[in-house]
Amino acid sequence: MALKLSNALSNFGRYEFVDLDCGEFSIKIKQCASHNAQVKAEISRIALRSKKTSIVSSPTSLTGSEEGDIEFFIKFIIVGWGEKPLKDDDGVEVPCTPENLKEIFTSSQEGRILFDKIKIASMDDAMFAVSDTDTKNF
């Protein structure tokens, strides 16, 4: 018997990347979810290293530490600047490197808030959902 589930599963269309608008700049991110193969594999590796069945030690951390989360997101979630690159006070584009991202996320309260927003957005299914309006544009 063939299941007819096209209506039930129609809301599971996902964008691979989204641009998270941060005001003066945007960041292109991937979804932090188990259907992202790199994320799933890394979470499994972390769990094996720590010999736990679940690596989530708190509801706000994936790896057990903020430093670990920052490294995880830089490596597996943040793709680069979006349509609006980050520029410094002199108007020069800041390269989107792991070193620069780490400095941005750890050097100020604003950077820590930005990192938290990236974490929340990357786990929000609605951010990555393809809507009917989007499909009409194809």
Tokens of 23: 């005001």
Tokens of 34: 């188990």
Is there a contact between 17 and 9 (Cβ–Cβ < 8 Å)?
Answer: no
Q: Give the number of other Cβ atoms within 10 Å of residue 120's Cβ.
A: 13
pLDDT of 54 reads: 52
Residues 6+ apart with CB under 8 A from 115: 69, 70, 73, 105
Per-10-residue mean pLDDT, the chain, length 138: 63 73 94 77 73 54 84 94 94 96 96 94 84 52
Spatial distance between the Cα atoms of 106 and 68, rounded to a whole number of angstroms: 12
Q: What is the pLDDT of residues 9-46, one digit of tens each?
A: 555 556 778 899 999 999 999 988 777 777 778 777 77
What does the pLDDT read at residue 135?
A: 46
For position 62, what pLDDT does the model report? 76
Per the CB < 8 A criterion, the answer to whether 94 and 86 are in contact is yes
d(CA 81, CA 65): 25
